[in-house]
Amino acid sequence: MEHTEEKIIKKKKNQSGCCSAHEEHKHTENEGHDHDHDHDHDHGSSGNMFQMFLPAIISFVLLLIGIGFDNYFPQSWFSGYVRIGWYIVAYLPVGLPVLKEAYESITKGDVFSEFFLMCIATIGAFAIGEYPEGVAVMLFYTIGENFQGLAVSRAKSNIKSLLDQRPDEVNIIENNVTTKIKAADVKIGAIIQLKAGEKLGLDGELMSDTASFNTAALTGESKPATKKKGETVLAGMINGNTIAQVKVTTDYKDSKLSRILEMVQNATTKKAPAELFIRKFAKIYTPIVVYLAIAICLLPMLFVDNYVFSQWLYRALVFLVISCPCALVISIPLGYFGGIGAASKNGILFKGSNFLDSISTIQNVVMDKTGTMTEGVFKVQEVIIYHDVNKGEILKMVNALESQSTHPVATAIHNYVGEIDTSIELKNVEEISGHGLKAEINGKELHVGNFKLMDKFGINYDLDPNEVVYTTIAIAYDKKFAGYLTIADEIKEDAQETVSKLKALGVQVTMLSGDKTNVVQFVARKLGIANAFGDLLPEDKVNKLNEIKAKNQTVAFVGDGVNDAPVIALSTVGIAMGGLGSDATIETADIVIQDDKPSKIPMAINIGKQTKKIVWQNITLAFVVKAFVLILGAGGLATMWEAVFADVGVALLAILNAVRIQKMKF
């Protein structure tokens, strides 16, 4: 019984199964049903509440009048076929859609659906003369379904608002003429003109001097971000109060927002263990209760002296109503969906509900330093160049070589030295992972990187790198050590708070970095991290992670660089910093933090814990209440009214519990 609330975008049906032309046009490419009986709980998405509840209102009014005539205002004419006809008319507004769903399910081979159970129970009630109860069961079932639809719509609202962030059309400037074209057709290099309050359709580089952008759709951060000329701006950002121009740098399908939307759309395809269990359980459970109901009705005739068929049929019908698994089948996926939605609202993207479960049991958080716990924005602090080397010339060569790298260190050097000297000819440029860069200039080798690079190529130096606190960039030219630069990076303002919250959650924190050990230890001491290791190559990080996993402990790794992708892939849960993070890391990760704030790490763990707690509360509630009332029903101690509570009542309680997560503060 796989429900389509697990789809983020799909056709939206009302109870009769109709889909509006607007919705069909808007969501055609993602439509489809995973539910075995093609039923959709998203009834409330059209916003027309009155129309959705109108059939139930009609049935409810007719039922009340009928009960009044039966018990409080007896009428001579209200008997026989008139009475039967009245209750049939009361039944049809809520019963016909369910009868139709049951028929369609049977034609598709899914005989034992919840609709089949409701149809047998209510038609059986009519067959033995319990007309008001037959109408009541179907009425309350329909009301429950409608409330479930509203709950699902609410759970989806955070994600749907994200899906609406990408405009279909953009304004392009060509030869001083503005033309509106489809965003998907825009070429790299085109110039987009953004009006005040307009959403950006593609990733690009800001051409205007400055502009203010609302980044809430991408980061969950309500405070506007001011961007300067040359800085990256992303699809989904909303321009402030001035006209801005943006040069497109990424194809429509490759933009960061497109990747985010793809992650969100695929999130519910990766099921949590509880969801997988309930789906399998429902397929086995439903046929069993149908056969048990038949046994309750017929077997007693072999053992009971005063066997009355109508009494035992009534007990069997009560048993069927109670046993409907809807409370479990809807509330559990809804709980996970609510967790994914709550996380999205806070700028955290879970790529599947299974990762909500996984992160809730995390024992270790291992994190990179640069770009994760520090800003990743380096500034040159000091420049030490030996006297026998021309300082200006060597810095120009270093700047030219570092221009071949996208590392933050390269940006810091470029900001310090200035424009790149294009007259410098680089040959045989090579990036040595975890070490630095080398190239040939004027027939001589230039090496720029850490001191491990110097050791690798046998270049002697006369200082102890461990005595320098800051990150050090060593320089060698023509096999001779020429000097070094020191570069510092600021710790993120919420980094210390992050470590404190993780410790409060009982999580062990470890820092791994390719930066020099004394820099890593310096940052770790400031943050209160006891376990910190520096001078690590990508393979060293993998080895450290495997050491933790060898203790049979769960571990989440948080990183942002390309070299973090292997470690993220190996961890129990991989977390990527999505703002500055590399594409490879974001693709590999299970969770993406969109605004690069490390404080979202303990928030993600807390969301996972709360989601899992709510899901298991719902499972326990449904099983305990249903088991109790099932026993009463089989023994003839429960009526249809108790059965309605055990089904619809429990479902509504579970749903109300599931939507709580969207109101929680994390």
Of all residues in the chain, the percent with pLDDT exceeding 70 is 83
Q: Confidence class of residue 489 from pLDDT cuts 50, 70 and 90?
A: confident
Instruction: Please tell me whether residues 107 and 136 are part of one structural domain.
Output: yes
Residue at 15 is within a domain: no
Lowest mean pLDDT among 404-413, 452-461, 536-545: 404-413
Distance CA 412, CA 391 (A): 17
Instruction: Please tell me whether residues 225 and 250 are part of one structural domain.
Output: yes
Predicted local distance difference test score (pLDDT) of residue 611: 93
Residue at 502 is within a domain: no
Instruction: Please tell me whether residues 134 and 151 are part of one structural domain.
Output: yes
Instruction: Please tell me whether residues 204 and 102 are part of one structural domain.
Output: no
pLDDT in tens, 89-125: 999 999 999 999 889 988 888 777 778 878 888 888 8
Instruction: Please tell me whether residues 135 and 203 are part of one structural domain.
Output: no
Strand 225-228's sheet: what is its strand order?
225-228, 210-214, 238-239
Last residue of a domain, one of 264, 293, 322: 264
- Overall average pLDDT of the 453-461 stretch: 93
Instruction: Please tell me whether residues 76 and 108 are part of one structural domain.
Output: yes
622 and 324 Cβ atoms separated by less than 8 Å:
no
Range of the domain at 191: 169-264
User: Which residue pairs from 125-131 have beta carbons closer than 8 angstroms and sit at least 24 positions apart in sequence?
Assistant: 125/314, 125/317, 125/640, 126/87, 126/88, 126/91, 127/313, 128/310, 128/313, 128/314, 129/310, 130/314, 130/640, 131/66, 131/83, 131/84, 131/87
Instruction: Please tell me whether residues 159 and 71 are part of one structural domain.
Output: yes
How far is CA 231 from its chain centroid? 28
Asked if pLDDT for residue 376 goes beyond 80, the answer is: no
When divided into structural domains, the chain yields a total of 3
Residue at 633 is within a domain: no
Residue with structure tokens 């303002």? Answer: 493
Last residue of a domain, one of 441, 466, 490: 490
Instruction: Please tell me whether residues 193 and 151 are part of one structural domain.
Output: no
Higher pLDDT, 55 or 409: 55
Q: What are phi and psi of 604, to 5 degrees?
A: -65, -40
Instruction: Please tell me whether residues 174 and 151 are part of one structural domain.
Output: no
Average pLDDT, the chain: 80
Predicted local distance difference test score (pLDDT) of residue 257: 65
Residue at 292 is within a domain: no
Radius of gyration for the chain, computed over Cα atoms and rounded to the nearest angstrom: 32
Higher pLDDT, 297 or 589: 297
Residues 6+ apart with CB under 8 A from 282: 1, 325, 328, 329
How many residues are given for the chain? 666
Instruction: Please tell me whether residues 178 and 146 are part of one structural domain.
Output: no
Distance CA 38, CA 33 (A): 6
Predicted local distance difference test score (pLDDT) of residue 8: 28
Predicted local distance difference test score (pLDDT) of residue 29: 35
Q: Which residues are catalytic?
A: 368
Ramachandran area for residue 169 (φ above 0: left; ψ -120 to 50: alpha; else beta): beta
Residue at 640 is within a domain: no
pLDDT in tens, 331-341: 777 788 888 88
Asked if pLDDT for residue 12 goes beyond 50, the answer is: no
What CATH number has the domain bearing residue 395?
3.40.1110.10
Instruction: Please tell me whether residues 404 and 483 are part of one structural domain.
Output: yes
Residue at 475 is within a domain: yes
Predicted local distance difference test score (pLDDT) of residue 217: 56
Predicted local distance difference test score (pLDDT) of residue 269: 57
pLDDT in tens, 70-86: 988 888 899 999 999 99
Q: Confidence class of residue 394 from pLDDT cuts 50, 70 and 90?
A: very high
pLDDT in tens, 504-518: 999 999 999 887 788
What CATH number has the domain bearing residue 234?
2.70.150.10
Lookup: tokens for 522: 């310096």
Predicted local distance difference test score (pLDDT) of residue 607: 95
The amino acid that residue 201 corresponds to is: G
Residue at 581 is within a domain: no
- Overall average pLDDT of the 366-370 stretch: 88
Last residue of a domain, one of 214, 247, 264: 264
Instruction: Please tell me whether residues 174 and 155 are part of one structural domain.
Output: no
Residues 6+ apart with CB under 8 A from 153: 42, 44, 45
DSSP string, 390-427: -HHHHHHHHHHHHTT--SHHHHHHHHHH-S--TTPPPE
Distance CA 574, CA 555 (A): 9
Lowest mean pLDDT among 144-153, 394-403, 523-532: 144-153
Residue at 430 is within a domain: yes
Higher pLDDT, 641 or 94: 94
Predicted local distance difference test score (pLDDT) of residue 68: 93
